[in-house]
Amino acid sequence: MFSFPDVNQVIFLEGHYSIPIVILSLLIACLASFTALSMHERMKSNSFFPRYVWLTLASLCMGFGIWSMHFIGMCAYMLPIKMEYNKLLTMLSVLPAMIASFLAFYTSSLPKQSMKTYSISGIMMGLGISSMHYIGMKAMMMDAEYVYHFGYFILSIFIAITVSFASLYIFGRLHVYMVNFFYKCMAAILMGSAIASMHYTGMHAVKYYIASTVNIDEKHFHQMNMTFFSTVVAAGIIMMLISAIISSIMDRYVDYRLNYFDALTKLPNRRQFEKTLKINSFSKRLAILHLHEMEKWNSMYGYSFGDKVIQYISLLCERLKPIGVELYRIEGNRIVFIGNKESWKELLVELRNISTILSNPIAINEQLVIVKTAIAISEFCEKNNGKTMYDQALAVLSHPSTVYEHTIIAFDPAVHFQSVEYQVLQDIDAAMAENDLYIVYQPKIAVCNEKMVGVEALLRWNHPIYGFLSPGIFIPELEKNGKMMDVTDWVVNEVCKQIIAWKEAGMEMQVSVNIPGPYVTSSRLLSVLKQSIQYYGIKPELLELEMTETSAVSNIEGAIQSVEKFRSCGFSVALDDFGTGVSSLSYLKRLPVTTLKIDKSFVDGVPESQKDSEIMKAIISLGHSLELNIVIEGVESKEQVDFLTSISGCEMIQGYYYAKPMKAEDLEGWVRCKEVEMQNV
């Protein structure tokens, strides 16, 4: 293989390259690499098809790409002898390229990547390309013999490994940038060059010769047969690559359908609807068809019956909707119509038609049913805001006056604005921005020396229409609608700002912030807290987080983990309203809180009720034995204070007896007065 014959007995043949075919071979290599890398990338992202489908496709593409590059490259080299290929070896030679591509892509797609995995992938890919090449060379059948130059032979393998490693490394490391067409092209060109440079170095390593006694027939160049061959190879490969690209596009399309369309009705779903609503100037009109009591049909006749009802109604809507009106299935039992000004009148007529048709029995599975409906419409909104229009239609549907008897009701501010819940949700963002929402602070006093030891931050809302709103009204509403997290972030920020302001005024104290139940276990909360204290330069000990006992118990494992994290970051954690939930001692033992806040209901009967007094004593001594700080909430009278002083060590009291919650500026005055009072005693 490497030993050169006696130069006196042989004639070495000189061939030459056809440049266009060389370029074609290079193009094929790059195109195959691009497709393979695209599919490899698809495998890493969430796809409708399983990962191994993409891995196999990527390997097929790459394998065929390497293989066809080789044979097209062979065609580019013209020798004055006749050359044919052994069909079996030609076909078998594709296998090492495919297997190596599979292994290389598999390794480079493992979740943990290191220099080692990239090297292994590069070596496998390089060896695959080289073995394909040299098996392909073995498939040649001709009158000439050939021999390899050892140095170039080794160099060709080395090049294949190094450039494969480089392109896989770049592709893996710059994975996030591969969505960028330019970067992906660069990686593909590099990979294509790995294949081509290996091939042409390998070709340089080979020397063809014939015995000096044999006559060379200069007319027998093999390029004519080979042109046909290369055309077939190129066409086949291009077809395969195109189909691979199409399958990738199809996959994206399937993903898109799954994400943005409802499987049952094939209508665009809520996600798509929300996208539409976000369009800046929403100069459209909107109606929601609500199917009432769908649960009834589901529970009476089963879910497939319910599905058929919905399909029937969605088909009816599609059939009757005027041109230009869009339909969305935003919830199981709600279909939205979005129309423009021009189609609106026509749509209203059709909505009436739909209502009338549905007020009569419809036949589903030979069963006659009447599905009650209401259609809420929202025609006008000052700011052309899609979200407001949608909220208006929702306000109609949730209003107590709305009956589900095939009615069509237009949003009327005079009627539907009356819905406090609706208004609360509408106005909360503006309230935060315009300080209608504000914080008051209630002092906590140490029983033993009557000094203020901290404050609790409590929300207040001075609503422009409803006036003062109690947190008991708006907080549950905001919690129900997932808005309380944003509000809590706002509270944390306001409190941090206030802590700094007080610090500058010479008052450093801990502030407790109430955290709504589901937010306690959210990772967002911890990062908001960390960011806020970092931004304002506050010590974490100055913030205490209050979580209610009920919310802790509802997800005890999550709560324990979160409290541990808060504590490890230096924040204090209090268990609020203690005694109103399950008050389980086993939970209390596992929850690493710093403080127990005993609920007001236990103080109310103290000291008159002996039972309440005993319970209070028991809770306080329980807190002591667990080495927890204790805050007693809702203390209103001197008798209560006297009783607590008599039984306790140095607990804290928070109650109207000492101070009601007050605005920050009032608190400063209150603290100064208290100081003067203390000095005079």
17 interacts with, out of ligand C2E, Mg ion, none, CB within 5 to 8 A per kind: none
How long a stretch of residues is the chain?
681
Output the smallest distance, CB 443 to Mg ion, in A: 13
Helix (H, G, I), strand (E, B) or coil at 579: coil
- Of 22 and 525, CB closest to ligand C2E: 525
The listed partner (Mg ion, ligand C2E, none) that binds 427, CB under 5 to 8 Å by sort, is none
Residue 638 near residue 657 (C-beta atoms within 8 A): yes
DSSP string, 347-381: HHHHHHHHHHHHHS-EEETTEEE---EEEEEE---
* Residue placing its CB nearer to ligand C2E in the complex, 18 or 583: 583
Judged by the rule CB under 5 A, the positions of this chain that interact with Mg ion are 514, 546, 576-577, 633
Q: Are 35 and 209 in contact (CB under 8 A)?
A: no
For residue 183, how many other CB atoms are within 10 A of its CB? 16
Return the residue matching tokens 């009705």: 265
Closest to 53 measured CA to CA, from 45, 44, 43: 43
Q: Which does 656 bind (CB under 5 to 8 A by kind): ligand C2E, Mg ion, none?
A: ligand C2E
d(CA 372, CA 211): 96
Closest approach of Cβ 251 to Mg ion, in Å? 51
Give the tokens for residue 587.
């939970």
In the list Mg ion, ligand C2E, none, the entry touching 458 (Cβ below 5 to 8 angstroms by class) is: ligand C2E
Residue nearer to Mg ion on the CB measure, 251 or 576: 576
Q: Which is nearer to ligand C2E, 289 or 573 (CB)?
A: 573
Q: How many CB atoms lie within 10 A of CB 362?
A: 16
Q: Which two tokens stand for residue 4?
A: 């050169």
CB nearer ligand C2E, residue 348 or residue 491: 491
423 binds, among ligand C2E, Mg ion, none (CB under 5 to 8 A by kind): none
CA–CA separation, 257 and 269 (whole Å):
10
CB under 8 Å to 586, separation ≥6 — which residues? none
d(CA 197, CA 73): 11
Among residues 142, 152, 195, which one has the least CA distance to residue 1?
152
- Give residue for tokens 């049952």: 264
Measured between alpha carbons, how far is residue 459 from residues 208, 358, 444, 633, 636 in Å? Answer: 90, 47, 17, 17, 21
Q: What's the rounded Cα separation, in Å, for the pair 315 and 332?
A: 15
Shortest separation between residue 179's beta carbon and ligand C2E, angstroms: 40
Shortest Å, Cβ 477 to ligand C2E? 12
Least distance (Å) between residue 480 CB and ligand C2E: 13
Residue 489 contact partner, candidates ligand C2E, Mg ion, none, CB within 5 to 8 A by sort of partner: none
Judged by beta carbon, residue 106 or residue 461, the one nearer Mg ion is 461
Query: Of the two residues 35 and 442, which places its CB atom closer to ligand C2E in the complex?
Result: 442
Q: Which is nearer to Mg ion, 68 or 514 (CB)?
A: 514
- In the complex, what is the shortest distance from the CB of residue 552 to Mg ion, in angstroms, rounded to a whole number? 13
Nearest-approach distance from CB 600 to Mg ion, in angstroms: 7
d(CA 244, CA 307): 36
Residues that bind ligand C2E (CB under 6 A): 442, 457-459, 470-472, 475, 491, 514, 516, 546, 576-577, 600, 633-636, 654-656, 661
Structure token pair of residue 95: 């296998």
Burial of 2 (0-12, 13-18, 19+ CB in 10 A): exposed
CB of 635 to ligand C2E, least distance (A): 6
CB of 316 to ligand C2E, least distance (A): 45
Least CB distance to Mg ion at residue 469 (A): 18
| 371 binds, options Mg ion, ligand C2E, none, Cβ within 5 to 8 A by partner type | none
Provide the minimum distance between the beta carbon of 353 and ligand C2E in the complex, in angstroms, as a whole number: 48
H-run or E-run covering 134: helix 115-138
Binding at 636: pick from ligand C2E, Mg ion, none (beta carbon under 5-8 Å per type): ligand C2E
CB of 544 to ligand C2E, least distance (A): 11
Long-range interactions of 652-655: CB distance < 8 A, separation 24+: 652/444, 652/445, 652/446, 652/447, 652/453, 652/454, 653/444, 653/445, 653/447, 654/442, 654/443, 654/444, 654/445, 654/456, 654/597, 655/600, 655/603
Nearer to Mg ion (CB atom), residue 326 or residue 577? 577
Q: Which does residue 126 touch among ligand C2E, Mg ion, none (CB within 5 to 8 A, set by kind)?
A: none
Cα separations in angstroms, 26 against 171, 415, 592, 642: 19, 72, 65, 93
Q: Which is nearer to Mg ion, 41 or 633 (CB)?
A: 633
38 vs 512, which CB is nearer to Mg ion? 512
- Determine the Cα–Cα distance for residues 416 and 426; give it in Å rounded to an integer: 12
Q: Which does 454 bind (CB under 5 to 8 A by kind): ligand C2E, Mg ion, none?
A: none
Pick between residue 314 and residue 514 the one whose CB is nearest to ligand C2E. Answer: 514
Q: Where are the beta strands (DSSP E) in 593-650?
A: 595-598, 629-633
Q: Which is nearer to ligand C2E, 489 or 633 (CB)?
A: 633
Q: Smallest distance, Å, CB 513 to ligand C2E?
A: 7
Displacement of CA 20 from its chain's centroid (Å): 48
